[in-house]
Amino acid sequence: MKNVAVIGAGLSGVTIASLLKKKFRVKIFEKSLSVGGRMSTRKEPPFIFDHGAQYFKIENKEFRDFLSDLLSKKIIRTWNFKCAYFEGNKLEKIKTLTSKDQIFVGVPNMDSIVKYLSKNFDIIVNTKIEKIVKKKEAWYLFDENNNKFGKYDWIILSLPAEQSLRLSNKSFSFYDLLKNIKMKNCFSLMIGLSHSPNLNYDCAIVKNKDIAWLAVNNSKPLRPKKFSILSNSSFEYAEKNINTPRENVLTNLLNETQNLFKKDKLKINFVKLHHWMYVETENSPKEDFFIDHERKIAVCGDWFINSRVEGAYLSASRLSKNIL
């Protein structure tokens, strides 16, 4: 049985590991302390924030079948909520979404999905792979401390485009394609409050402000009652302020969020900023994945298709079929 190394334990990495494991020995490497990628959850007791992917839809039958066990065990549930639409600080409308709208979240957290899917895998966390080397038809991996892992017949890069490029070289057939991919960044602000601001909506889509999305995290099913807010910056703001001191970014996004509420000063118990360097592509590739059969290395991820949760699955699934 051949060996495969998957670098990145987000949904696409865990998906391709699931689909290859019957014919390959698969090991997953993850730089963070836990799996999840952008389907992640930040736990800051007593507050919890889904600070990556906020929700997802299931439009592809194959994707629904893949998630059938999680749906039946209610690890995935619908989120019923009221969504506000703002033009600047002006509220234009509020739309109610119910189970019929099929907006899904992980339960009790977004990262519960990837944790469930990866529970039986061989995963090495807190290990950032800095270099990959091929010797005599076998791949070897080296982490930031120069620890060596191998040997592997295949390497799957389940990473954002720019991170994949750093592990690639010009001999790869897809190198030039990968080099042309540019990704947008985003700031996520997590706010824990001692009291509810008594909003009449659960999330907001905002135009023409430095924040583009806001969600009341505890409005999602089976979340703690402690009031927690997640604000995402616009891509335009993030690009302009990528080198701005983080305390200035935090202060501005906090003010922008409070101005949206039009209420007295929020009673804040916790606030933290997270910078997502790679959120979605400016120029998606035509392919659903990249693969070099001669070198036995490939790349998959949500950014190939639509930078959404379902896209992560579809890219990995289509790559797995090609390899198999």
Question: What is the predicted pLDDT for the residue at 265?
Answer: 75
Domain match, 243 and 162 both: no
Domain assignment of residue 56, yes or no: no
**Chain Cα centroid distance, residue 182:** 17
Predicted confidence (pLDDT) per residue in 214-270, tens digit: 999 999 999 999 999 999 999 999 999 999 999 999 999 999 999 998 776 788 999
Question: What is the predicted pLDDT for the residue at 196?
Answer: 86
Domain match, 256 and 192 both: yes
Average pLDDT, the chain: 96
Question: What is the predicted pLDDT for the residue at 261?
Answer: 87
Domain count for the chain: 2
Tell me what the mean pLDDT of segment 42-46 comes to.
94
Question: By percentage, how much of the chain surpasses pLDDT 90?
Answer: 95
Residue 126 has pLDDT above 80, yes or no: yes
Domain match, 130 and 249 both: no
Domain assignment of residue 167, yes or no: yes
Residue 96 has pLDDT above 90, yes or no: yes
Question: What is the predicted pLDDT for the residue at 262?
Answer: 78
Domain match, 101 and 133 both: no
Domain assignment of residue 267, yes or no: yes
Domain match, 305 and 272 both: no
CATH code of the domain covering residue 311 = 3.50.50.60
pLDDT range class, residue 139, cuts 50, 70, 90: very high
Question: What is the predicted pLDDT for the residue at 141?
Answer: 98
Per the structure, the complete domain to which residue 154 belongs is given by 2-35+118-181+285-323
Domain match, 174 and 190 both: no
